[in-house]
Homo-oligomer: A and B are copies of this chain.
């Protein structure tokens, strides 16, 4: 079983209270793919400029990630620059879309046998274009962000009506639904069609909300956070990677997926860029997932 991830591939310049990096590997498709690669075969679909360091492509390949759908275009790679004064809120200093501005995702033929798809937080129009190319996926998930909730609500409605799983954080959920209470807001999302809403709450963990499904998962207790960039993408990547591996959205599989996503997010934030995410053993990931279960056990 395998997973297609469509999203941004970026070079990030990030400053946090404990350090900084320049032009470091980032982007939702990268964080998601690396996190998912511990569980299943991953196909990344995105675009980079001709300045994109070949070592980053090699890193993805080393993780067994298929990069046939990673288009290399004349020009500069998407760049994002941000600063964290507190861990929950990135302050964007600069965004240069560059080649990402004309991103037109095309799923290569190799993806047509995949069983699952994760749509990163790109424009809903692009998400819909990808969905049109999907033939026989078992399950499809989408992420989004406030920018599209405010600026492309109707197209986003259409995306949401066509996916099985929606990833949103609390602010996004409330803004999207126009409701102050998360459970009422979750109903608004679920009534559009998805089977599951995955509510991301950062340091407070996550909640799975669906028809007859309610599951609370704490965040993995990290003592030292270094860089929260990509936490949500790593979470979604781990979650979908595990689901793609097991192939079925049973309640038990969803819970396990949520725990693995939680572990991948924790690994990600404990170092800058993809340093921890790209250098781990599955045994250690399993150990962390077991620990999480222990801390939740009644």
Taking beta carbons and an 8 Å cutoff, which residues of A are in contact with B?
181, 183-184, 201, 204-205, 207, 214-216, 218, 221, 223-225, 255-256, 259, 293, 295-298
Contact = CB atoms under 8 A, between A and B. Distances in A.
A215 B291 CA distance: 11
B204 A296 contact: no
B298 A298 contact: no
A173 B207 CA distance: 25
Contacts of A255: 298
Given A201-B204, A207-B218, A216-B218, A259 B298 contact: yes
For the residues of A in contact with B, the DSSP-based class is: mixed
A223 B183 contact: yes
Contacts of A181: 223-225
Contacts of A207: 218
A235 to B, nearest CB: 16
Contacts of A201: 204
Contacts of A215: 295-296
A228 to B, nearest CB: 13
Given A204-B201, A205-B216, A221 B183 contact: yes
20 contacts: A181-B225, A183-B221, A183-B223, A184-B223, A201-B204, A204-B205, A205-B216, A207-B218, A214-B221, A214-B295, A215-B295, A215-B296, A216-B218, A216-B295, A216-B296, A218-B218, A256-B298, A259-B298, A296-B298, A297-B298
